[in-house]
Chain A
Amino acid sequence: QVQLVQSATEVKKPGASVTVSCKASGYNFTSYGVSWVRQAPGQGLEWMGWISAYNGNIKYAQNLQGRVTMTTDTSTSTAYMELRSLRSDDTAVYYCARNQGMDVWGQGTTVTVSS
């Protein structure tokens, strides 16, 4: 079946970096893009960016420009999201999803930033 499986929970100190992976299965990875969304505790959904798995075209949210990098590895059908210079307000559940209208979601990766 079509699914996205994300990497495990992360705990980081302020200023560190985190990389979340998202492994796709059950469909042709390069036929779709991957969106990244995060949700801080008790808050709504925040769009972080989108990457085309076909040609690597990328769009980032303005407020994350310079701190975030999204990539894909088509040989393993995996998307990655790296967030640098972590702050306490980056504490959130991070989701990957297929497409811009997000029809398949990963299970979420909790990232906690705390000293």
Chain B
Amino acid sequence: DIQMTQSPSTLSASVGDRVTITCRASQSISVWLAWYQQKPGKAPKLLIYQASRLENGVPSRFSGSGSGTEFTLTISSLQPDDFATYYCQQYNTFPSTFGPGTKVDVK
């Protein structure tokens, strides 16, 4: 199975900060990576698919990059609504696998 890791596990930031989360795959997954945002008690929400494609309706302050084994999610200017947990997921190969998550909280 492909293992996904994320760093950091927790990130403390302020409104307006530029935030970057890294996701690494244990082997190449090409661009078959998605990013999700999850708030407590809610279902995850797709932000980015195919590593860099912004899902319809997602604010343009979110962006994704990378290919192969290393990927990043960037929030260009953190907004109050962005405090949440973020997960990456590879869907290149079955079984699909998620990263352990990165919690973005208030500094």
Identify the closest chain A residue to B6 (Cβ): A44
The answer to whether A101 touches B50 (Cβ under 8 A) is yes
The answer to whether A101 touches B43 (Cβ under 8 A) is no
Binds B, one of A11-19, A70-78, A83-91, A105-113: A105-113
Number of A-B contacts (CB under 8 A): 53
Tally of B interface residues using CB under 8 Å: 23
Write the residues of chain A forming the contact surface with B, with a CB cutoff of 8 angstroms.
Answer: 35, 37, 44-47, 50, 59, 61-62, 95, 100-103, 105-108
Q: Chain A's nearest CB lies how many Å from the CB of B59?
A: 16
Identify the closest chain B residue to A6 (Cβ): B43
Report B-chain residues with C-beta under 8 Å of the C-beta of A108.
43
Q: Say yes or no for B44: interface residue by CB 8 A criterion.
A: yes
Q: Chain B's nearest CB lies how many Å from the CB of A2?
A: 11
Q: Chain A's nearest CB lies how many Å from the CB of B93?
A: 10
The answer to whether A105 touches B43 (Cβ under 8 A) is yes
For the complex, give the distance between the alpha carbons of A37 and B97 in Å.
10
Q: Chain A's nearest CB lies how many Å from the CB of B56?
A: 9
Pick the residue among A35, A47, A50, A107 that contacts B97 (CB under 8 A).
A47
Write the residues of chain B forming the contact surface with A, with a CB cutoff of 8 angstroms.
Answer: 1, 32, 34, 36, 38, 43-46, 49-50, 55, 87, 89, 91, 94-101
9 closest Cβ pairs, A-B complex: A105-B43, A100-B91, A59-B94, A101-B49, A45-B98, A47-B96, A101-B34, A44-B101, A103-B46
Report A-chain residues with C-beta under 8 Å of the C-beta of B50.
101
Report B-chain residues with C-beta under 8 Å of the C-beta of A44.
87, 98-101
The answer to whether A47 touches B98 (Cβ under 8 A) is yes
Q: Chain B's nearest CB lies how many Å from the CB of A75?
A: 26
Report A-chain residues with C-beta under 8 Å of the C-beta of B94.
50, 59
What are 16 of the A-B contact pairs (CB < 8 Å)? A44-B101, A45-B36, A45-B89, A45-B98, A45-B101, A47-B96, A59-B95, A61-B95, A62-B95, A95-B43, A102-B36, A102-B89, A103-B46, A105-B43, A106-B43, A108-B43
